[in-house]
C-alpha cells in the first residue's frame, strides 16, 4: 500500500512516500525535500544472536549521480565511504540506537541512500529524519519518533535549520537530535568566520540554543507521530528476552567477595582489571559455588561492580581512583620530543596519553574531498586520530581507522579550527597517536594538538583544552564527574565532551543514556566543566612558555608588499634576480604584480628573512601591510613640508611613512648638514620627524630633514 505524508518544515515541504519502493525490506520509504530524494530502508535478521548490545549497523551512502556527476578518481564507481558519510552514519546510529526495545538481539541494518541532491538541503538532518521515520513505520515494535535540527546563531538571533548562506555567517553550528521529551545527542562547534577569532560560545548562550532546539524538535516530533499511521502494519514476531539478574547469587557473592571486588575495581588498567574479575569468576566457578556456572557468576560480579562504583560516587563522593567529583587527573606535558618532526607534544592525563605530531606543508598538501553537500573542496587543516589496540592492552593488529577514530578526530578538529588562522598556500596536518587510553582520549587529543600547533609556530589565537564530563543519577541523588575514566564512562549515565578556550566553548559532543536531563542540570555541568578546563589551560600555558622550537626544521613564510612598479626589479632580466634569490636563500617566491604582494616561503626562517631583506634592498623598501593601489606620489608637491614616521633604517638612509600615505626616502646625506656616519646614530625607529619633499620622481619621493 502506497502512503504519502507531507510536512511543512519551516516553509519547506518534506514528503514521505511509504510502500512504493524496496518492498522486501522490513521498512522502506522515500523522503523528498526540494530536489533532494533519499531512500531509507531497514532489514532485520529474525534469528537472534548471543550479544549483550543492540546489533545495529547504520549506513549513510551518497551516490555521485545524485548531483549529476561521475565519481572522482581512476575507478568510476563508488568505493569505500568517505569521511562525511561515515561521520553522518555515526551520528544517526548514536541517535536511533536508544529506540530499540531492551533485549533486541537481532542483526539490524539501516540504510540511507541519497538518490538526488541539491546544494540547499541539509543532508544530515534529512538523513536522520528519514532513518527515524523508516523505523517508526517498519514492522518492528518501535513506537517513538525522533527528529534532528541544525541550529545557527547570527548576531543575537537563533536560527533553526539555517540556509547555506546563513550557515556561512553563523557563529555556531549545532546538530541536535531528540524525542519530544529529551535531547539524545548534540554535536556543536563554533565557526571561524570572524577576523578576531573570538567565536567561542558562552555557556549561557549554549543553554539558550539547546532550549530553542528542544522546542523545535518537540514540534517536529509531534507532527510526525500524530500523522504517520501504523494501524495497518503487522508487527514482526520477535522474542525479546531481557535476562534478569540472579539476585540470590548476587547476595551470596556480596557476602563473600565484596571486599575482594572492591580491591579489583581500584585497578585502573581496563584490560588487567577485566581479566582479574574473570579470573575471580573462574575461581568461584571451580568451587561449584551455589550450583552456578561461570557465565552467571561473571555477570553477577559485573552487576556488583556497577553498584559499588555508583554507590561510592553518589553516597561517599569518592571515585574508583580515589578522586573527588571535580578532581582532574595528574597532567604532564612534553613538547618537541620528536627531533625530526616539525612539532610534537605528548600530553598525559592519568592513564591516557596522546602523542600529537604537527607537520606543515604547502598548498598542494591539503586533503581533497568530494561530497554532495559541498562539492569538491580542499581542506588545508586536517587532524587524524589513531587508536591502536596496544593503547588499552589488547593484542590486535592496526587496521584502517573506523568510525570512532574518525569521529574523535573530527571533534578535536572542530575544537581547534576556530582558533587557527591559516596562511595562504599552507597546509597543516596533525596526527594524534593514542599511546594509552583510560577515558577521554579525544579530549587529550584536543589539548595535545593545541600545543602541537604552538610547537610549529601556527597562528592560533588561544590554547584549547577539552574535558570529558560524566553523570551518575539514581532516584533523588546525582553526581557530576569531571575528567571521567573509561570505567566511569561505562558505568555512568552520560558522556559529555566539552572543549574550548579560557573564553568559552569551541566544540562539544553529548551522548545521554537516560531521560530527563534538565537545562538546570546541564548548566551545572557546564559550570563544573569550565572550572576543569581553566585548570588544564593553566598547566598548558606554562608548558607552551617552555617550548624549544625545531627552527632548523620548521618551514617558514613571510608576505611583504612592494610598489607594483618595482616587481620587475625582483624578477630581473630574464628572471635572473629571482633565480639568484631562490637559489642563494633556498626559498620559493610568489609575486602578484597587480597588488605588489610578494610571498617568500622556505625550509628555514633564516632563509626567508634573508630573502625578504634582500628584496627590500632591491626595491628600496617594502611593507608588511598592503600598499595602497592609488598612486601616493600624486598626494604631495615638491617643496612642501610634511610630518612623517621612521619605519625602516638602512645603510644609505631611512624610509619615512608620510602623513597622507606612502613612503619617502630620506638619504643619509639629507639628514643633517654635517656628515652622518650611521643613520642609527641620529634616527630611531617610529620617531616622528619633519621632512621636506625635495624631489618627486617616477616611482618615489625624496626627502630632506627639516
The count of C-alpha atoms lying within 13 angstroms of the C-alpha of 327, restricted to the half-sphere facing its C-beta, is: 14
Alpha-carbon radius of gyration of the chain: 32
What is the mean pLDDT of the segment spanning 38-55?
A: 91
Q: Which of 273-282, 365-374, 449-458 has the lowest mean pLDDT?
A: 365-374
pLDDT of residue 630: 40
> Which pTM value belongs to this model?
0.80
Instruction: Quickly tell me which residue has 557465565 as its cell.
Output: 295
pLDDT at 629 > cutoff 50: no
Binned at pLDDT 50, 70 and 90, residue 194 comes out as: low
pLDDT of residue 405: 93
In the predicted model, what is the mean pLDDT of the chain?
88
pLDDT at 631 > cutoff 70: no
The DSSP symbol for 312 reads I
pLDDT at 625 > cutoff 80: no
DSSP strand pairing (56-62 vs 597-602): unpaired
Binned at pLDDT 50, 70 and 90, residue 699 comes out as: low
pLDDT of residue 231: 59
pLDDT of residue 437: 93
Higher-scoring residue by pLDDT: 287, 200: 200
pLDDT in tens, 610-624: 899 899 888 887 766
Domains of the chain are: 3-227 (3.30.230.70), 256-316 (no CATH), 331-545 (3.30.230.70), 556-619 (3.30.1370.10), 632-705 (2.40.50.140)
Q: Which of 594-608, 616-630, 671-685 has the lowest mean pLDDT?
A: 616-630
pLDDT at 118 > cutoff 80: yes
pLDDT in tens, 26-45: 999 999 999 999 999 999 99
Higher-scoring residue by pLDDT: 95, 631: 95
CA atoms of 290 and 309, how far apart (whole Å): 25
pLDDT at 515 > cutoff 70: no
Cα dist from 585 to 351, 427, 457, 613, 614, whole Å = 46, 22, 21, 11, 10
pLDDT of residue 210: 94
184-223: b (≥16 Cβ within 10 Å) or e: bbbbbbbbbeeeebebbbebebbbebbebbbebbbebbeb
The percentage of residues in the chain with a pLDDT greater than 90, rounded to a whole number, is 48
pLDDT of residue 329: 96
CA atoms of 222 and 218, how far apart (whole Å): 6
Q: Which residues contact 313 (CB under 8 A, 6 or more apart)?
A: 319, 325, 472, 479, 481, 488
CB 308 within 8 A of CB 261: yes
The count of C-alpha atoms lying within 13 angstroms of the C-alpha of 424, restricted to the half-sphere facing its C-beta, is: 7
pLDDT at 100 > cutoff 70: yes
Count CB neighbours of 70 within 10 A: 9
Q: Where are the beta strands (DSSP E) in 86-229?
A: 106-116, 147-154, 157-160, 172-178, 183-190
pLDDT at 282 > cutoff 80: yes
DSSP strand pairing (352-362 vs 3-9): unpaired
Cα dist from 16 to 29, 379, 406, whole Å = 6, 35, 31
What is the mean pLDDT of the segment spanning 677-691?
A: 88
pLDDT at 517 > cutoff 60: yes
CA atoms of 387 and 431, how far apart (whole Å): 11
What is the mean pLDDT of the segment spanning 672-697?
A: 87
CB 60 within 8 A of CB 85: yes
Helices and strands in the chain: count of H runs, count of E runs: 14, 31
pLDDT in tens, 288-313: 666 778 888 899 999 999 999 999 99
Amino acid at each position: 500500500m502506497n502512503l504519502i505524508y507531507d510536512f511543512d518544515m519551516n516553509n519547506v515541504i518534506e514528503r514521505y512516500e511509504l510502500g512504493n519502493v524496496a518492498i522486501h525490506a522490513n521498512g522502506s520509504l522515500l523522503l523528498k525535500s526540494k530536489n533532494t530524494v533519499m531512500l531509507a530502508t531497514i532489514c532485520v535478521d529474525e534469528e537472534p544472536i548471543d550479544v549483550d548490545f543492540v546489533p545495529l549497523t547504520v549506513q549513510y551512502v551518497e551516490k555521485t549521480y545524485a548531483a549529476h556527476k561521475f565519481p572522482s578518481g581512476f575507478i568510476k564507481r563508488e568505493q569505500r565511504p568517505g569521511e562525511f558519510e561515515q561521520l553522518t552514519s555515526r551520528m544517526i546510529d548514536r541517535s536511533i540506537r536508544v529506540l530499540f526495545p531492551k533485549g533486541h538481539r537481532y542483526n539490524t541494518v539501516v540504510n540511507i541512500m541519497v538518490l538526488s541532491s541539491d546544494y540547499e538541503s541539509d543532508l544530515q538532518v534529512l538523513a536522520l529524519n528519514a532513518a527515524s521515520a523508516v523505523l517508526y513505520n517498519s514492522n518492528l515494535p518501535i513506537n517513538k519518533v525522533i527528529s534532528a535540527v541544525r541550529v545557527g546563531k547570527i548576531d543575537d538571533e537563533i536560527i533553526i535549520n539555517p540556509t547555506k548562506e546563513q550557515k556561512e555567517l553563523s557563529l555556531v553550528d549545532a546538530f541536535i537530535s531528540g524525542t519530544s521529551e529529551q535531547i539524545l545527542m548534540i554535536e556543536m562547534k563554533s565557526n571561524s568566520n570572524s577576523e578576531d577569532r573570538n567565536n567561542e560560545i558562552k555557556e549561557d548562550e549554549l543553554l539558550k540554543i539547546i532550549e530553542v532546539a528542544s522546542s523545535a524538535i518537540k514540534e517536529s516530533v509531534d507532527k510526525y507521530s500524530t500523522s504517520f499511521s501504523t494501524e495497518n502494519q503487522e508487527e514482526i514476531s520477535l522474542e525479546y528476552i531481557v535476562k534478569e539478574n540472579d539476585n540470590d547469587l548476587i547476595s551470596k557473592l556480596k557476602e563473600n567477595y565484596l571486599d575482594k571486588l572492591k580491591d579489583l575495581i581500584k585497578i585502573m588498567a581496563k584490560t588487567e582489571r577485566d581479566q582479574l574479575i574473570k579470573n575471580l569468576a573462574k575461581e568461584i566457578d571451580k568451587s561449584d559455588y551455589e550450583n552456578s556456572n561461570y557465565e552467571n557468576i561473571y555477570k553477577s560480579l559485573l552487576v556488583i561492580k556497577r553498584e559499588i562504583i555508583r554507590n561510592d560516587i553518589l553516597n561517599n563522593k569518592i571515585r574508583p581512583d580515589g578522586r573527588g567529583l571535580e578532581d582532574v587527573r595528574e597532567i604532564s606535558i612534553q613538547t618537541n620530543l620528536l627531533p625530526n618532526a616539525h612539532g610534537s607534544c605528548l600530553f598525559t592525563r592519568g592513564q591516557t596519553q596522546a602523542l600529537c605530531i604537527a607537520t606543515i606543508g604547502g598548498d598542494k598538501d591539503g586533503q581533497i574531498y568530494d561530497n554532495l553537500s559541498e562539492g569538491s573542496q580542499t581542506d588545508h587543516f586536517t587532524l587524524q586520530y589513531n587508536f591502536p589496540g596496544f593503547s588499552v592492552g589488547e593484542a590486535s593488529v592496526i587496521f584502517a581507522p573506523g568510525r570512532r577514530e574518525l569521529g574523535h578526530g573530527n571533534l578535536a578538529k572542530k575544537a581547534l579550527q576556530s582558533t587557527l588562522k591559516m596562511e595562504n598556500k599552507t597546509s597543516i596536518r596533525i596526527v594524534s597517536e593514542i599511546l594509552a587510553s583510560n577515558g577521554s582520549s579525544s579530549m587529550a587529543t584536543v589539548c595535545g594538538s593545541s600545543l602541537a600547533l604552538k610547537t610549529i609556530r601556527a597562528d592560533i589565537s588561544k590554547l584549547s583544552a577539552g574535558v570529558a564530563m560524566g553523570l551518575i543519577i539514581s532516584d533523588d541523588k546525582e553526581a557530576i564527574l569531571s575528567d571521567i575514566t573509561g570505567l566511569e564512562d561505562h558505568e555512568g549515565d552520560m558522556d559529555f565532551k566539552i572543549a574550548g578556550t579560557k573564553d568559552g566553548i569551541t566544540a562539544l559532543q553529548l551522548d545521554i543514556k537516560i531521560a530527563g536531563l534538565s537545562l538546570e542540570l546541564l548548566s551545572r555541568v557546564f559550570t563544573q566543566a569550565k572550572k576543569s578546563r581553566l585548570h588544564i589551560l593553566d598547566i598548558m600555558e606554562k608548558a607552551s612558555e617552555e617550548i624549544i622550537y625545531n627552527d632548523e626544521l620548521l618551514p617558514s613564510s613571510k608576505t611583504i608588499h612592494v610598489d607594483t612598479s618595482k616587481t620587475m626589479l625582483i624578477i630581473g632580466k630574464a628572471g635572473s634576480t629571482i633565480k639568484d634569490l631562490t637559489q642563494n636563500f633556498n626559498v620559493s617566491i610568489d609575486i602578484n604584480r597587480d597588488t605588489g604582494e610578494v610571498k617568500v616561503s622556505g625550509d628555514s626562517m633564516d632563509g626567508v628573512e634573508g630573502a625578504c631583506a634582500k628584496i627590500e634592498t632591491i626595491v628600496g623598501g617594502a611593507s608588511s601591510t598592503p600598499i595602497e593601489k592609488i598612486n601616493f606620489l600624486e598626494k604631495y608637491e615638491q617643496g612642501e613640508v610634511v610630518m612623517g614616521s621612521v619605519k625602516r633604517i638602512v645603510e644609505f638612509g631611512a624610509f619615512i611613512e608620510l602623513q597622507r600615505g606612502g613612503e619617502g626616502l630620506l638619504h643619509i646625506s639629507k639628514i643633517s648638514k654635517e656628515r652622518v656616519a650611521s643613520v642609527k646614530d641620529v634616527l630611531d625607529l617610529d620617531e616622528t620627524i619633519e621632512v621636506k619633499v625635495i624631489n618627486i620622481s617616477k616611482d618615489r619621493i625624496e626627502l630632506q630633514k627639516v
